């Protein structure tokens, strides 16, 4: 049936009609809020490359997490900036390390929120790469055991879920094995399965002080031109035991989000990364974009593409706006 018999505008006339036929419902239940833990106490230091985000000492991180819980946000994702870095990223699995302390403190004071930890070495290595460097290259197999140690140390500290973001081959299986052997078979793995070598991570690397000191991450993160390869990566991670699969970044890869959702039977997460966040922030600050409208449209778009879960620095604002 065509115009004039079929008139799509009939169902757009009022908000109630629009509400009734709306296909995608963005909810606070979908959101994960990433946070940055730093040493010290009483620290709430604005991150210059990410307006509205902070470096938080453990006490402040607990406050921020409690506020997120009160807004109905179901989960936080923790990154840590350690006191010291070394060639091997040893402080990533130190039992008294920054993330381990943060996890324990949150689980003690705000037990009713999911604490997910980012499992990677790049915040902890002096060279800033996500694995061990041998002869100028990141050594995949030598890195696996360290990643498993990091994940295990997070689980021991009380983490509810671990999220490996390093893009080494075989790390999900290695981590799954280590967790299972130590009695943590109930701890899920959210794998950064299709993680692209993206220029949109720029602000985060300043925030996490994790920019590589030499070279780049294209030897392990994916080429942004590839989608078929993303499906192979996802298939491998599911085969190795990933419970949730992530596509990252979100906006330049919505086609990948959509295909992963259609082709695989696992919850899909998409990471609305630091560069996507600051584009909106900068334009809103200049008065060029309406922040609330754009953020809700972006997050709804990511959900519509197929994401069940969205990691976003906008989580608290979005939670507030979704209540209005």
Nearest distance in Å: CB 266, ligand PBG: 20
- Write the DSSP assignment of 245-290 as a string of letters: EEEESSGGGHHHHHHHHHH-SS-EEEEE-HHHHHHHHHHHHTTSS-
By CB under 6 A, name the binding residues for ligand PBG: 118, 120, 122, 130, 165, 201, 204-205, 217, 273-274
Instruction: Tell me how far CA of residue 300 lies from CA of 25, 187, 323, in angstroms.
Output: 7, 29, 15
The active-site residue, picked from 195, 261, 281, 303, is: 195
CB-nearer residue toward ligand PBG: 60 or 171: 171
Give the nearer residue to ligand PBG in terms of CB position, either 89 or 306.
89
Min dist CB 16 to ligand PBG, Å, is 38
Question: Smaller CB distance to ligand PBG: residue 173 or 190?
Answer: 190
CA distance 177 to 241: 9
- Catalytic residue status for 195: yes
Q: Which is nearer to ligand PBG, 184 or 200 (CB)?
A: 200
Residue nearest to ligand PBG (CB): 204
Closest distance of CB 71 from ligand PBG, Å:
20
Q: What distance in Å separates the CA atoms of residue 230 and residue 198, rounded to the nearest whole number?
A: 14
Instruction: Report which DSSP code applies to 84.
Output: -
Q: Report the run of H or E that residue 147 belongs to, with start and end.
A: helix 140-157
Other C-beta atoms lying within 10 Å of the C-beta of residue 49: 15
Query: In whole angstroms, how close is the CB of 165 to ligand PBG at the nearest point?
Result: 4
Would you say 66 and 224 are in contact if contact means Cβ atoms under 8 Å apart? no
The residue annotated as part of the active site, out of 248, 261, 281, 303, is 248
Is 134 a residue of the active site? no
Residues with catalytic function:
195, 248
């Amino acid at each position: 049936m065509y115009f004039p018999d079929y008139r799509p505008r009939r169902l757009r006339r009022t908000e109630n009609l629009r509400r009734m036929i709306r296909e995608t419902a963005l909810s606070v239940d979908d959101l994960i809020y990433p946070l940055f833990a730093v040493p010290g106490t009483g620290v709430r230091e604005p991150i210059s490359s990410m307006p509205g985000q902070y470096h938080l000492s453990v006490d402040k991180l607990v406050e921020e997490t409690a506020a997120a819980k009160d807004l109905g946000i179901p989960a936080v994702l923790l990154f840590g900036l350690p006191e010291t870095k070394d060639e091997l990223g040893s402080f990533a699995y130190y039992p008294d390390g920054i993330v381990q302390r943060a996890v324990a403190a949150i689980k003690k004071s705000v037990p009713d929120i999911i604490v997910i930890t980012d499992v990677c070495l790049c915040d902890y290595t002096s060279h800033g790469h996500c694995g061990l460097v041998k002869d100028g290259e990141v050594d995949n197999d030598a890195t696996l055991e360290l990643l498993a140690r990091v994940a295990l140390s997070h689980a021991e500290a009380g983490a509810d879920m671990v999220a490996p973001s390093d893009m080494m081959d075989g790390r999900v299986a290695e981590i799954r094995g280590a967790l299972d052997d130590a009695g943590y078979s109930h701890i899920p793995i959210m794998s950064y399965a299709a993680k692209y070598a993206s220029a949109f991570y720029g602000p985060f690397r300043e925030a996490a002080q994790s920019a590589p000191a030499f070279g780049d991450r294209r030897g392990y993160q994916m080429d942004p031109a590839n989608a078929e390869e993303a499906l192979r990566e996802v298939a491998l991670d599911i085969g190795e035991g990933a419970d949730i699969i992530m596509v990252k970044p979100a906006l330049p890869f919505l086609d990948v989000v959509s295909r992963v959702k259609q082709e695989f039977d696992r919850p899909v997460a998409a990471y609305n990364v630091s560069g996507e966040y600051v584009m909106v922030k900068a334009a809103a600050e200049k008065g060029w974009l309406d922040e609330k409208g754009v953020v809700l449209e972006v997050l709804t778009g990511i959900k519509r593409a197929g994401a069940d879960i969205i990691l976003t620095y906008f989580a608290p604002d979005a939670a507030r706006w979704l209540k209005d």
